[in-house]
Structures are given as C-alpha cells and as structure tokens.
Chains A and B, each alone.
Chain A
Amino acid sequence: MKLRSLSPIQVEAHLENGLALESGPFTFTVRGRYAVLRDSLHLLYADHPILSADSFVDFPVSLRAPNPLRRIFRPQVQFYFDQHRPFYPLPADQAFASFEWGLNWVISNHAHRFIILHAAVLERRGHALVLPGEPGAGKSTLCAALMMSGWRLFSDELTLIDPPSGNAFPLCRPVSLKNASIEVIRSCFADATLGPIVDATSKGRVTHVKPTEASVAKMDTPAPIAWIVFPRYEEGAPTRLNPRSKAESFLEVAKNAFNYSLHRQQGFEVMRRVVSGADCYHLSYSDLEEAMARLEALPLPEPVEPEIESLPR
C-alpha cells in the first residue's frame, strides 16, 4: 500500500505510533505531531510503500519538542534517532527539513554496509551518473532537473555503493532545493511537486521536490556507475564538459565520502574499480538546458580491459 492511499487524518494517526516507510534499501519509522511534517510526508513520499507494524525497521526516528514549553512558546522541533539527539533543536516550521537532514545523518553514520559518497546519483539507460560536488556547486539543482526530464532519481546527497559489486543503490528520497534553485526548478518544470518552502533555515530558503513516480517504482533496482561528473555552476559561463583524470577524480570522490576509510582495503579496491570503469568529467555551466543536453549525450564508457590480478597483500 502506498502512502498516497491514506487520508491526511490517517497519516496523522500513523505518525502517532510511527509511520513505517520503505525507501530504497532502508526502512524507517517517523513519529511526530507537526502539521508540516504530516503534509510534507504525505505529498513527497506519496508513492512510497507503507509497511505493516511488524516489519523490521532499520531506523526509528521521531520529531518532538525538546521540552513541553517548546510546544507552545516559540515552538521547536528536536530530531531523535531512537533515543539519541544528534542535533540542536530547530524552529518547528522546519520539522520536515529536520527529518530529511536527520535521516541523511542517520544513514551516513550507520549504513556502513555501503560505501557512502557525498554525491547525487541518477540513472538512465541502465547506467548511473554520479554528481559529486561541494555545497553550492549546483548538484541538487542539476539532480532535480535531470529527474524531471526522465532520469531515474537515486539520491541528491548520498551515493550508496555496494561492495563488492560496485553498483549504486537507489535511496529515492525527496531532492532538497535551496534559495534560487527553487525558482529555477519551479519555472522550468511545471509538473514538479514541491513541498512547502521554509524560510530562514541555516541554509536559507529550503524546500524539497518529490521523487518521480517512475523513480520510486524502480527503487529496488541498482545500476553500475558509468559516469562521474563534477558539476560547477558559474554565472554566465559557457557550457563545458571536459574529461577529468581518473586519479584526481578518485581522490576527490574519496575525500568527500562519508565512510570510505571504514572500508579499508576493500573500500580502495571497490572504488578503484568503480572509477576505472566510469568516465570522469568536469562540467561547468550556467545554462541548465545545455548542461542537461550534454549529460544526456554522454556515451557509455568503453568496456575496461580484463583486470590484472591485484597485487598480493
């Protein structure tokens, strides 16, 4: 059963005891009495399957007032993972954003079965495109735009790589948009479903875009990584897509990973194979349409030559 089949009142009832959802390889429960949380979940996770109460829940999270006073007076929201509070409380209107950020933290700190990179991922023609990039490089905007033009969304933040296969796994949660990119996506894609906009967060104006139905429908299907593209939005810049050296790309990706070092030698081996098998580029752009056209025209990488046995340890 999908979340969209529930009425808002039913969603609220579920949120009392823990609304159990499945997204990509993970299951989680959310509790919380915030209207913005209820409405945003209902809207942005509409296509996600709801789980029964007796399912295995990976990550139980809840959003509560840090103390009773904060329910009434300048209401606040505190993110809880089980009984832990990894963050400082936020104003109550950020309840949904707080849930999304909190869940990102929970996954990147606990799902060590995957190598987790800080990068957006999408899929097309059975192959995954990884977009690493520091905040402000425009990876979320590009990610939302590609998803709205038919790419299958994996994630806008967390690239889950399965060792030893090296395949990327979809996470399929809403794409976070900030400030100017909200207008860009809204004006370019009339059919994009955006959640309520929250002002004055630590990141500025924030909202989330609903994953496309097609992305959610295939969220169990992983894909091999074919392209690693480092995007950079530069105002007024012409669109340039230049190959980038694999060694440099490897270092950059590893540097921005959440748990690469935990995987030790196997992590190195897997990432070496992933980067060897993918084509790496540097993309600078100011025109979204052009940038997307260039990404869609990317050829599949040449098959890598059979591997020489790795050196003895």
Chain B
Amino acid sequence: MNLLTPLLIAARKPGFHYDASALEAATLIRQARAADLLAHLEVALHNRIDPKVSPRFQMHVEAARILAEKQRQNVNWEVEQIAKATRRIGVPMVLLKGSAYIARNIRAGRGRLLSDIDILVPQGAIDDVENSMKKSGYFPKEVSDYDRRYYREWSHEIPPVVHFNRHTTVDIHHSILPPTTRLKPDARLLLAEAEPLPGHEDVYTLSPRDMILHSACHLFHEGELQHGLRDLVDIHTLLSEFMTDQAAWEGLVTRARQLDLMPPLYYALRYASRILETPVPPHILKAVQAGGPGCLMGKMQDWCFGEAFQPDHPTCRTWHSGLARLLLYIRAHYLRMPLAMLGPHLAYKALVVPYRERKREEDRLRRQQQLQG
C-alpha cells in the first residue's frame, strides 16, 4: 500500500505530527527511498515526528538530510565550474530542473536529490559549448553509434558529458522537447525570459512559469516515469510557491499557449490536483482542458498515471502496474516521434539494447566487485 503520497498530503497541514507503528515507518522509508523522495520526506516532516516513532526512522531521514545538504554544496560549486566553460566562449547558460531549484534555493530544491546537472544553451552554440566543456575536463560519455545518431538527429540534447575526475554528469540541451515531437516550443522564447542567477555571472534559470512548463514537458512527454512521483512533487512544489494569485495562474496558461505547451500543462495540473491534491482554480483547469485527450483516452490515462505515480516499490505494486508503465512508455514514444520512426526505434530498443545493456551492466557490476575486493 502506498503510504508515502497520503503522508505528503497530510503533512501540509500546519498542526501535523507524524505517528506510525515501527512496521509502517520502516515501509515508508523504503517507499520514499524507491521514489527518491527520502530527503524530501525529511523536509516535509522536519521536527514534526512524534517521539513515539522508532528512533530508527529518524536515523534514515537524517542520513538523507546529510546527503541532500552535501549535494547542495556540490551543485552550487559545480554550477560555477560549468559556467567557467560557457563564459569562456561568451555563451549564456540556463540551469534546468533539480540543479536550478537548488541553485535558486527555492522550495522545490529543498531535499531534492539529483544524479546529473541539466543545462540549456542556444542551439547554434552547442558545438562550441561541448568543446569548451571538454577543455574544462567534461568529456562525452561513450554511447553506441545508434545512440549518437539518435542524439544528433532526433534529440533536444547531446550525449551527456562527464567530468573526468569528479564524475559529475552534465546534460546539455538546446531545447526542452525533441525536434520530432508534434509540439514545437521555441527555445528562444525560454532564453528570452530566463532570469539571472544571483552570485554567478552569465548563469540563468528559467522563469518560474517556464520551470513549471518544462517540468511538465519532461514528465509527461519524455516517458521517464521511474521517478514519476518525485517529478510530480516538483510540479506541486513549484505551483504552490509561485502560483500565488490570479495573475500568476493566467500568466502560466498564456505562456503555455505561446510555447505550444498546453497538453503538458493540462496533464501537470490534472495529475498534480488528482494525485497530490494541489489546489488549482477550477477555471484554470477548464482553460487548459483543450490540451487534454478525449473521454475514453482520458479514462485510460487516469488509470495509467494513477499507477505510474505510485512509488516504484514492491509494496506499492500490483499485477497491472507493469502494464500501466508499459503503456505510458509507448505513449511517450508515440508523442516523441512520427510513427514511421517509432517502429524501427522501438524494435531496436527491444531487441538490441537489452543485450547491450546487460553486457554493460555486467561489466559495471564486475568492476564494482573488484573495487570492493
């Protein structure tokens, strides 16, 4: 049973206190860890854990807090290292997602763990940025020829670069959706509204409403639902911090229309309000309705997303969770590319990639084992 989502909702009430049996508290830790929300849980429950709850619970959230704080320090430092590379060639650099939330010190960044730093640069500058990053010690990750071609021709990002010494991974984007998607947001509009990041020269983050739209795009149009709940929590947190009045909400809808991003906004608002009980004004939900699917498709998606936004943990899984995730995976691909491209791509992914990935995984584990020895 999903213990995490109801708790995150309940914890928003001011007088809330967390009380649970040892068994429930331990299950909650496992679910939060699987959802990558353990440090978020620490922030949500800060100083509001009943003394009757096992002190072991405290030990785990404390560990997550230590990890998140160290990561905050690392991110702030790494951002400046990346900025040195982009400044050298006079290119503005926009931080995206987790690293932007952390660097801006907004609520969505508290207890947000991340595995890589995402940046957005003007499309024309992408090769220069890649080269300049190389000079700073960030080298392209080895990818297969197929993937390289995929990145270059059909993607909105280039193969990730990794720092040779610190192993930090940076994803360099020139847009927020693949060029093959039916939706065509103009990245130049995003850059034009980007806001300078205090304390860093020539470093920007998206405006709050663009952060929301980008997070929605990423979640509902890229099919990466492994951390679905975490990403929905991001959207909830951004909405509750920045959509404080009527004008802000309307500005968000106007912006979605301008960027051709009504569908992702529809999905974000629908599922944030359905799953995390994010308060969204009814007339705003109505205004984005145009971006939504038909009745039957809508029902089906409600079911699929309802499953996919559970923590990815055995205690939350049913026999049909896998099916829901598979359908959403196919949906994301369908949204991302024309059908003529989709068939061959999925065939490649289904037949060739598992074989290659298994080999790579085996190598990785073998290396790790050697290190342990």
Residues of A participating in the B interface, judged by any CB pair closer than 8 Å: 25, 27, 54-58, 60, 82-83, 85-88, 101, 105, 110-113, 135, 202-203, 261-264
Scoring B residues 33 to 66 as 1 if CB is less than 8 Å from chain A, else 0, what string do you get? 1100000000000000000001011011011101
Report Cα–Cα, A134/B86, bound state, in Å. 41
Q: Does B182 contact A (CB under 8 A)?
A: no
Q: Which residue from chain B places its CB closest to the CB of A265 in the assembled complex?
A: B73
Scoring B residues 8 to 36 as 1 if CB is less than 8 Å from chain A, else 0, what string do you get? 00000000000001110110001001100
Q: Does B373 contact A (CB under 8 A)?
A: yes
Other CB < 8 Å A-B pairs besides A25-B59, A82-B34, A202-B373, 5 of them? A27-B56, A60-B30, A82-B33, A83-B34, A87-B369
How many A-B Cβ pairs are below 8 Å?
68
Q: Is the CB of A202 within 8 A of B365?
A: no
Q: Is the CB of B66 within 8 A of A111?
A: no
Report Cα–Cα, A88/B369, bound state, in Å. 7
The 8 Å CB contact of A56, one of B26, B66, B314, B366, is B26
Q: Which residues on B sit within 8 Å (CB–CB) of A105? A: 372
| A261 vs chain B, min Cβ distance (A) | 7
Residues of B participating in the A interface, judged by any CB pair closer than 8 Å: 21-23, 25-26, 30, 33-34, 54, 56-57, 59-60, 62-64, 66-67, 69-70, 73, 313-314, 362, 365-366, 368-370, 372-373
Q: Which residues on A sit within 8 Å (CB–CB) of B372? A: 87, 101, 105
| A117 vs chain B, min Cβ distance (A) | 16
Q: Is the CB of B21 within 8 A of A58?
A: no
Given A56-B23, A83-B314, A113-B63, are A203 and B54 also a contact pair (CB < 8 Å)?
no
Q: Which of A27, A101, A110, A135 has the most CB atoms of chain B within a 10 A radius of its CB?
A: A110
Q: Is the CB of B63 within 8 A of A83?
A: no
Q: Which residues on B sit within 8 Å (CB–CB) of A86? A: 365, 368
Q: Which of B66, B314, B365 has the most CB atoms of chain A within a 10 A radius of its CB?
A: B66
Q: Which residue from chain B places its CB closest to the CB of A102 in the assembled complex?
A: B372
Q: Is the CB of B54 within 8 A of A56?
A: yes
Q: Is the CB of B373 within 8 A of A111?
A: no
Given A60-B30, A113-B63, are A135 and B373 also a contact pair (CB < 8 Å)?
yes
Return 30 A-B CB contacts under 8 Å, by A number: A25-B59, A27-B56, A54-B22, A54-B23, A56-B22, A56-B26, A56-B56, A58-B26, A58-B59, A58-B60, A82-B30, A82-B34, A83-B34, A83-B314, A85-B365, A86-B365, A87-B369, A87-B372, A88-B366, A88-B369, A101-B372, A111-B63, A112-B62, A112-B63, A113-B63, A113-B66, A203-B373, A262-B67, A262-B70, A263-B70
Q: Is the CB of A264 within 8 A of B59?
A: no
Report Cα–Cα, A135/B313, bound state, in Å. 36
Q: Which residues on A sit within 8 Å (CB–CB) of B373? A: 135, 202-203
| A155 vs chain B, min Cβ distance (A) | 16
Q: Which residue from chain A places its CB closest to the CB of B314 in the assembled complex?
A: A83
Q: Is the CB of A57 within 8 A of B26?
A: yes
Report Cα–Cα, A203/B368, bound state, in Å. 14
Q: Which residue from chain A places its CB closest to the CB of B317 in the assembled complex?
A: A83
Report Cα–Cα, A113/B61, bound state, in Å. 9
Given A58-B56, A87-B365, A87-B369, are A264 and B63 also a contact pair (CB < 8 Å)?
no
Q: Is the CB of A261 within 8 A of B369?
A: no
Closest A-B pairs by Cβ, 3 of them: A88-B365, A112-B63, A56-B22
| A141 vs chain B, min Cβ distance (A) | 17
Main secondary structure, interface of A, reads loop
Q: Which residue from chain A places its CB closest to the CB of B69 in the assembled complex?
A: A264
Q: Which of A25, A60, A112, A202 has the most CB atoms of chain B within a 10 A radius of its CB?
A: A112
Q: Which residues on B sit within 8 Å (CB–CB) of A82? A: 30, 33-34, 313
Q: Which residues on B sit within 8 Å (CB–CB) of A56? A: 22-23, 25-26, 54, 56-57
Q: Is the CB of A264 within 8 A of B70?
A: yes
Q: Which residues on A sit within 8 Å (CB–CB) of B23? A: 54-56
Report Cα–Cα, A55/B55, bound state, in Å. 12
| A65 vs chain B, min Cβ distance (A) | 16
Q: Is the CB of A261 within 8 A of B59?
A: no
Q: Which residues on B sit within 8 Å (CB–CB) of A58? A: 26, 56, 59-60
Q: Is the CB of B59 within 8 A of A111?
A: yes
Report Cα–Cα, A158/B33, bound state, in Å. 23
The 8 Å CB contact of B70, one of A25, A27, A203, A261, is A261
Report Cα–Cα, A85/B73, bound state, in Å. 29
| B355 vs chain A, min Cβ distance (A) | 15
| B334 vs chain A, min Cβ distance (A) | 29
Q: Which of B22, B54, B368 has the most CB atoms of chain A within a 10 A radius of its CB?
A: B22
Report Cα–Cα, A203/B372, bound state, in Å. 10
Report Cα–Cα, A262/B54, bound state, in Å. 24
Report Cα–Cα, A101/B369, bound state, in Å. 10
Q: Which residues on A sit within 8 Å (CB–CB) of B73? A: 264
| A132 vs chain B, min Cβ distance (A) | 17
Q: Which residues on B sit within 8 Å (CB–CB) of A54? A: 21-23
Given A56-B56, A88-B362, A202-B373, are A112 and B66 also a contact pair (CB < 8 Å)?
yes
Q: Which of A25, A56, A203, A264 has the most CB atoms of chain B within a 10 A radius of its CB?
A: A56
Q: Is the CB of B62 within 8 A of A113?
A: yes
| B319 vs chain A, min Cβ distance (A) | 17
Q: Which residue from chain B places its CB closest to the CB of A261 in the assembled complex?
A: B70
Q: Which residue from chain A places its CB closest to the CB of B55 in the assembled complex?
A: A56
Report Cα–Cα, A262/B74, bound state, in Å. 10
| A114 vs chain B, min Cβ distance (A) | 9
Q: Which of A27, A83, A87, A135 has the most CB atoms of chain B within a 10 A radius of its CB?
A: A83
Q: Which residues on B sit within 8 Å (CB–CB) of A261? A: 70
The 8 Å CB contact of A202, one of B34, B59, B69, B370, is B370
Q: Which residue from chain B places its CB closest to the CB of A58 in the assembled complex?
A: B56
Q: Which residue from chain A places its CB closest to the CB of B63 in the assembled complex?
A: A112
Q: Which residues on B sit within 8 Å (CB–CB) of A111? A: 59, 63
Q: Which residues on A sit within 8 Å (CB–CB) of B26? A: 56-58
Q: Which residues on B sit within 8 Å (CB–CB) of A25? A: 59
Q: Which residue from chain B places its CB closest to the CB of A115 in the assembled complex?
A: B66
Q: Which residues on A sit within 8 Å (CB–CB) of B370? A: 202
Q: Which residue from chain B places its CB closest to the CB of A78 in the assembled complex?
A: B365
| A127 vs chain B, min Cβ distance (A) | 25
